[in-house]
């Protein structure tokens, strides 16, 4: 009887060890987005024409959307198995840290502060900060022309407006809105005098309002767009970098830009070097 009990106890230990080992393997595999062969949740903007825009019929289009789809394809995920989730500027780090998205492609500038919370692959694009104003505006010619009686709009959680205040015009009044579309609406109504963010974003809005809005066209500062993902996901970062490099090399990158922002008159910039 004692021998039988000992055998049962030994078998239980073996089975428990095998179970724990299997769980460990599963957890290890699940730690990287590169190990998700069936589906992905990807963060994008829903309100940026030419980059990330949700159409009335529920479809998505834009350069960032095309980059997100290309990466997913290289990870082995079909387009129909991608769930797009809106990722507003102020929410991006939280969405990644909480695991609500696998990666984010949403005009997400790579900064040291953000690197404290998330990892970046890329860059997949280099933009330049600029200003959007009414076409009739002749007073604003660049960031240094902004005065204390002028209102400058950008979005919460983004850095461009503060950058202007710090480097070019301490007196300008900053206005923060939830989205760039809100900023553009405020500009059209006269509630603000200018909107600042990256030139490629502003070009999309100018194209939506021909004759009413213009981009100043004097870009200042470089904004390196990266793909944001969980800070610990080294394997996923390597896989995304490989996908970006392939997209740039095979012509898909330039074709996506021409399709999405080329019609606005925006000059396609040089191809970026993947350095992250």
Q: Is 75 left (phi over 0), alpha (psi -120 to 50) or beta?
A: alpha
Instruction: Provide the pLDDT confidence category of residue 10 given band limits of 50, 70 and 90.
Output: very low
- Judge if 36-127+223-264 and 128-221 fold alike in CATH terms: yes
Report CA torsion sign: 188, 192, 197, 198: positive
- Averaged over 159-176, what is the pLDDT? 87
Mean pLDDT of the chain: 87
Does the pLDDT at position 72 exceed 50? yes
* Stretch (H or E) spanning 64: helix 63-74
Given a cut of 70, whether residue 140 has pLDDT beyond it is: yes
The tens digit of pLDDT for each residue in 77-128 reads 999 999 999 998 889 999 999 999 999 999 999 999 999 999 999 999 999 9
Q: Give the distance between the most distant pair of CA atoms in the chain.
A: 97
- pLDDT higher than threshold 50 for residue 248: yes
Q: Which two tokens stand for residue 202?
A: 């502003």
Best CATH choice for the domain 36-127+223-264 from the list 3.40.50.300, 2.40.10.120, 3.40.190.10, 3.20.20.70: 3.40.190.10
pLDDT (0 to 100) of residue 262? 80
Looking at per-residue pLDDT, the higher value among 41 and 268 belongs to 41
Whether 21 has a pLDDT exceeding 70, the answer reads no
DSSP classification of residue 109: B
Is residue 264 over pLDDT 60?
yes
Quick one: pLDDT band at residue 13, thresholds 50, 70, 90?
A: very low
Question: 101: which DSSP letter?
Answer: -
Domain residue ranges of the chain, discontinuous segments joined by +: 36-127+223-264, 128-221
Class of residue 5 by CB neighbours under 10 A (exposed 0-12, middle 13-18, buried 19+): exposed
- Give the percent of the chain with pLDDT over 90: 64
pTM of the predicted protein model? 0.77
Per-residue model confidence (pLDDT) at position 37:
66
Tokens 């194209």 belong to residue? 207
How crowded is the C-beta side of 194, counted as CA atoms within 13 Å? 31
Q: Is 100 helix (H, G, I), strand (E, B) or coil?
A: coil
Least confident of 4-18, 88-102, 184-198: 4-18
Q: CATH top-level class for 128-221? A: alpha beta
The whole-number pLDDT of residue 206 equals 87
């Amino acid at each position: 009887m004692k021998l039988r009990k000992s055998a049962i106890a030994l078998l239980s230990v073996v089975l428990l060890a095998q179970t724990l080992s299997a769980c460990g393997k599963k957890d290890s595999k699940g730690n990287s987005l590169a190990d998700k062969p069936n589906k992905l949740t990807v963060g994008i903007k829903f309100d940026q024409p030419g980059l990330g825009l949700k159409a009335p019929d529920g479809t998505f289009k834009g350069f960032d959307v095309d980059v997100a789809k290309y990466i997913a394809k290289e990870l082995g995920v079909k387009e129909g198995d991608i769930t797009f989730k809106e990722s507003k500027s102020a929410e991006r780090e939280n969405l990644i840290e909480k695991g609500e998205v696998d990666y984010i492609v949403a005009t997400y500038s790579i900064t040291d502060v953000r690197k404290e919370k998330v990892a970046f692959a890329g860059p997949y694009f280099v933009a330049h900060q600029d200003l959007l104003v009414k076409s009739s505006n002749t007073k604003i010619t660049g960031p240094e022309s902004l005065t204390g009686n002028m209102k400058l709009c950008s979005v919460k959680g983004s850095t461009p407006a503060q950058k202007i205040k710090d480097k070019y015009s301490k007196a300008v009044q900053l206005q923060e809105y939830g989205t760039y579309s809100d900023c553009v609406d405020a500009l059209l109504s006269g509630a603000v005098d200018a909107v600042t963010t990256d030139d490629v974003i502003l070009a999309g809005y100018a194209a939506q309002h021909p004759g009413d809005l213009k981009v100043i066209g004097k870009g200042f500062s470089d904004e390196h767009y990266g793909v944001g993902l969980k800070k610990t996901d080294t394997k996923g970062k390597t896989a995304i970098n490989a996908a970006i490099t392939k997209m740039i090399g095979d012509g898909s990158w330039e074709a996506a830009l021409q399709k999405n922002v080329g019609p606005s008159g925006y000059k396609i910039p040089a191809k970026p070097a993947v350095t992250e």
